[in-house]
Amino acid sequence: MSANIAVIGAGIAGLSAAYRLQQAGLKPTVFERADTVGGRIQSFRRGEFLFDVGAFIYLGSYVESIALMEELGLGQRMGPYAAYGAMPRDGKLHYLDLKKPVRSIIGTRYLSTGSKLKAVKLFRLLFKHWNDLNYYDATGIAAIDNDTVASYARRELNQELLDYLAAVVVRGPWLSDPEYTSVGQLLWTLKNFFKPYFYGLDDGMDALPRALAERLDVRLQHSVSNVSDHGDHVEVSYSNSEGRNTSDRFDGVIITTTTDQALAMYPQMAGAQRELYASTEYITSVNTHLALAHRPSEPATYIMVSPREHADLCGVIVDHKKASGRAPADKGMITVFCRHEWCQRNLDASDDAVLSQVLQFIKPYYGDLSGDVCDYSIGRWPRVVPMMKQGRFKQIAAYERSLDPRARVQLAGDLDPIAGVNAALVSGAKIGKQMAERFTASSP
């Protein structure tokens, strides 16, 4: 008889875990407290525009995500799309063509000649640890997790490289501050973010989780309150979509929720697992999606902003350049991201207040768009990705060493060893395969 496995959470980690379990012949049941799948990957269409209000792109380095999209038959609806970046300095945008990265870096006036020479030291460190910067094992990156981005840059580089390179790299994708962010995240981002292409799905970022869910037994509006490991089985207590409280027995459970939810529902969590989950802090995001009556003439696919240029604005991505179908051919769409601290302050601010500030933030690059906005959406995420402070990778490596692959209750998500969509997908698939091996090997 096939083992029955409960997967808690229908984000990309839970769905990829359940998919791999099902492929191995087991019977996964996915519990999701919300009324839709995808977790922090959410999209919706309103009128002529398609909004991605959670995760916004699949990076070119997301080989596992790209392979899964192909496997699920989504290949005709995905990129690649050119990643043509821009960074402002002293009121001027400087462009980075990632199809010609060496020429772009050498030729740019964004950095001084002295800083370009200094930056060689950073790239030597990057290439030295290239293989350590992966989605499967934190051991290598933990060995260099001894500095914040700021402390490393001030000691080994210079202030210009801190302000206009290192800070930009951790603010743009992560909304983080270099004063607390681990240098490991800087290196990981340099390796994985700066690719010549990225991928968007024409049907929305959530086309991937939706395609997975169509193949699985997913129970929406089922809120799990308790997971209890009894040794020979696991009991899961939950309320269903009608509000009725129920408990069921399962052979195993995979928990893929945010850390606060996991700790609340699984009080038996102990040791390095509990230490990691209890100490996790999250980046907050209040991202603003603007549907525009006209397409901006600015050619960059994205803009990333130094704190010297703007204290709160981290970056902009041009949605109509990342996938087809985001906006009509004569109209446009952009998404604006601000730093974690600004997002925390504005998490409960009115939409009008957020919109007013954001339009002022981007005015130097796109002009006054206040009369051009024909629709907008504010995405509010109190817990968008785990914060990767200095020392975090060491803690994750200790967590990895503590794991028992035979345990009936397993954890997955974007905590191990790095944050993000692909990390969550890889983590879920890895734990799904591991649990499948555990139960198929023990079958008579």
The per-residue pLDDT of the chain, averaged, comes to 95
Indicate if the pLDDT at residue 441 is higher than 80: no
Distance CA 111, CA 86 (A): 13
Pairing relation of β-strands 282-292 and 252-255?
A: unpaired
* For the chain, domain boundaries: 4-40+206-280+392-441, 57-81+197-204+282-386, 99-192
Q: Tell me the average pLDDT across 156-166.
A: 98
Q: Tell me the average pLDDT across 316-331.
A: 94
Residue 381 to residues 34, 283, 346, 354, 418, Cα–Cα distance (Å): 14, 9, 11, 14, 18
Distance CA 274, CA 266 (A): 10
Reported as a single tens digit per residue, the pLDDT across 95-107 is 999 888 888 888 9
Indicate if the pLDDT at residue 409 is higher than 50: yes
* Share above pLDDT 70 across residues of the chain, in percent, rounded to a whole number: 99
Q: 88 has which bridge partners? A: 93
Reported as a single tens digit per residue, the pLDDT across 257-268 is 999 999 999 999
Q: 1 pLDDT band (50/70/90 cuts)? A: low
CATH architecture of 99-192: Orthogonal Bundle (1.10)
Look at residues 327, 380, 355, 100 and name the one whose alpha carbon lies nearest to residue 200. Answer: 327
Reported as a single tens digit per residue, the pLDDT across 365-402 is 999 999 999 999 999 999 999 999 999 999 999 999 99
Which distant-in-sequence residues (6+ apart) come within 8 Å of 322 by Cβ? 56, 57, 79, 81, 198, 200, 301
Q: What's residue 250's pLDDT?
A: 98
Indicate if the pLDDT at residue 422 is higher than 80: yes
Domain 4-40+206-280+392-441 and domain 99-192 have a common topology = no
Q: Tell me the average pLDDT across 308-331.
A: 95
By the 8 A CB rule, do 197 and 80 touch?
Answer: yes
- Burial environment of residue 109 by CB neighbours within 10 A (0 to 12, 13 to 18, 19 or more): exposed
- Report the 10 Å Cβ neighbour count for 313: 26
The CATH number fitting domain 57-81+197-204+282-386, selected from 3.90.660.20, 3.30.70.660, 3.30.365.10, 3.30.230.30: 3.90.660.20
Q: Tell me the average pLDDT across 122-129.
A: 96
> Of residues 106 and 234, which shows the higher confidence score?
234
Q: What's residue 386's pLDDT?
A: 96
Q: What's residue 287's pLDDT?
A: 97
Reported as a single tens digit per residue, the pLDDT across 41-62 is 999 999 999 999 999 999 999 9
Query: What class does CATH assign to 4-40+206-280+392-441?
Result: alpha beta
